[in-house]
Structure 1
């Protein structure tokens, strides 16, 4: 299914984020901190310690940009403590702009948030 979809351009960013998932069925909710290193409308690369078991499905929160509970599916675990996650829905341009405005990456230093939109 994902092979036939159009690929969106990944753009580097540095945002603090959190993944939330359930452990042991529905009994226990766990969360881990991570960094969003690159993002597109359909995919994100997250920097996280991969020494623990990463679930196949989780929710991504970006608290600085006030974006809550983006459903994700794990695509790939890389050796350099990064994972590639696929979003269950495409991010809107407004959400992408919010992420870039609150990014710590030097390329996004001059971005401003449009309050009228």
Structure 2
């Protein structure tokens, strides 16, 4: 399915995020912190603080940009504590702009948010 979708260019960013998933079937919800270091409309690269086992599907929250419950599928786990994920829906340009406004990456230091578009 994912090999036939269009690929969008990954842009550098640095946003705090949270991964949420269920452990032991549906018994409890686990939450882990991470950083979004690259993002596009269809995928992202996340930096994890430590190594831990993630399920194939989970939710991604970006609290600074007020974006919650983005469904994700784990595509690849890298050795340097980063993971490559695909989103279950395409992110809108408006959501990406909000992420870039709250990014601490130097490439986005001059980004501003249009209040009327919120």
1:50: Cα distance to partner?
5.3
Rounded to whole Å, the distance in 2 between the matches of 1:87 and 1:6 is: 13
Scaled by the length of structure 2, the TM-score of the pair is 0.96
Aligned to 1:98: 98
Rounded to whole Å, the distance in 2 between the matches of 1:10 and 1:82 is: 15
Q: Secondary structure at the match of 1:100?
A: helix
Rounded to whole Å, the distance in 1 between the matches of 2:105 and 2:38 is: 10
Q: Secondary structure at the match of 1:97?
A: helix
Scaled by the length of structure 1, the TM-score of the pair is 0.97
The root-mean-square deviation of aligned C-alpha atoms, in Å, is: 0.8
Aligned to 1:44: 44
Rounded to whole Å, the distance in 2 between the matches of 1:67 and 1:51 is: 25
Structure 1 unaligned residues grouped into runs of 5+: none
Structure 2 unaligned residues grouped into runs of 5+: none
- 1:65-84 map, 5 Å: 65-84=65-84
Rounded to whole Å, the distance in 2 between the matches of 1:49 and 1:99 is: 20
Aligned to 2:7: 7
Aligned to 1:53: 53
